[in-house]
Structure 1
Amino acid sequence: MRHPLVMGNWKLNGNKNMVNELITGLRNELSSVDGCDVAIAPPFIYLDQAKHQLSGGRIVLGAQNVDINLSGAFTGETSANMLKDIGAKFIIIGHSERRTYHKESDELIAEKFAVVKEAGLVPVLCIGETEAENEAGQTEAVCAKQLDAVLKTMGAKVFENTVIAYEPVWAIGTGKSATPAQAQAVHKFIRDHIAKHDAETAAKVIIQYGGSVNADNAAELFSQPDIDGALVGGASLKADAFAVIVKAAAAAKKAK
């Protein structure tokens, strides 16, 4: 059975004091929770501090982005090997904010996916449609295109030990969320799309939901058969709210 993962994406938030307090709060809140893997992705500048704060605990370190280059004259970039060296495991790639604000293409994101896998890290591949695409009935076509950038260059086996995060762009940071039934339908489509290439890999891949996940909607989302945790934005900045989401995922795992 798949083991759910709840990951907090802190985005462009935090300071040294906040990192200390939030991680201390999370460790206290989650000390007795099992049945769900937990990770956080602070801004790059706080990764080393976070790693030390997490030492000896069950929360795993992640990062919000990565460059396709491993070294060289690429000012301002961070490589997969650097992230591995500092102790990160889960690497978010293809987040809609990167696609939108930094014009990252499906092809570039597939390159990042390959670099992360080559480094022995776990890519968290974000896919999802905009509001206009959703209203035009293009959700499945958009998700398939974003998946195919990886599938057609690397094959389905590359999705072993990988996380996919379905994040409808219209639900990120808006307070809107797909209904559990809507989210489940897309998650099933994603799994079935990979299964056309490799059913065994598709059955094992972790597919998170992201998009205004909070303490109120988490339990019902996680009760769906193909939703394996969440990539959490705003709610991951408060230890108590994030802990409720993690506990809901753990409870859903036991109930499935």
Structure 2
Amino acid sequence: MTEHLVLREDIGTVARLTLNAPASLNALSDAMLAALKARLTELAGDPAVRVVLLAGAGRAFCAGHDLKEMQAGRAAPDKGAAYFADLFARCAEVMQMIPALPQPVIAEVHGIATAAGCQLVASCDMAVAAEGTRFGVNGVNIGLFCSTPMVALTRNVPRKQAFEMLTTGAFIGAEEAQRIGLVNRVAAPADLPESALALARTVAGKLGAAVRIGKRAFYDQIALPLEDAYDLAGAVMVENMLWRDTEEGISAFLDKRAPDWA
């Protein structure tokens, strides 16, 4: 069992997941990936949860892949080729589960978020970072270009900033991460949990079904040509408008009262 590697705490309609391998800076080991996949699968089927927070225990959010495990994989006759292919496929599966999750996912980041750890932040729908947090896709410093983290990173930040990070291995701070769009908010370290939770509670306070349909449409339309994106979004708006709770929400707004959502 790997449940201890990703802890879950429910705070009302917000579920807080904590990567819990502080000795390895919450590296994405085989066991950690399996535990995170299990937790995300669990949450996907939990209608009581409206927002997910993702944090890390100890000194850091996540330091990326477990390099010791990766080096051990080289002992195979194929020098690790099959293991590496499987590892990166499993990691990609977990990263893609986050935008596919019905609930918005907010990264609560402190310490460092490097390589696949930075990929994890970029895969989340939003992120709140503590002052002093460092972000990097620094694999190039050890001769391994961060090609899979690049996929998520380039879908968050402008390409020239992403390319500079990928090719120099340089770290950026929380304020710079916010400026280029990797992070939504920056908080004092002592205020990080409450700041992330406040954002989560704001989102959780909206009509859950509307947020779920909106999140799905957000990611579906972003990959489409402009005309097709409008066609998809228009169909989603029609579906949303026909809901009883949406009719009630609009009526409540016009009547200047709180909505009576079922």
Q: TM exceeds 0.5?
A: no
Relative to its length, the structure with more helix (as a share) is 2
Report the TM-score, using the length of structure 2 for normalisation: 0.31
Report the TM-score, using the length of structure 1 for normalisation: 0.32
Whose relative contact order is higher, 1 or 2, with alpha carbons under 8 Å and at least 6 apart? 1
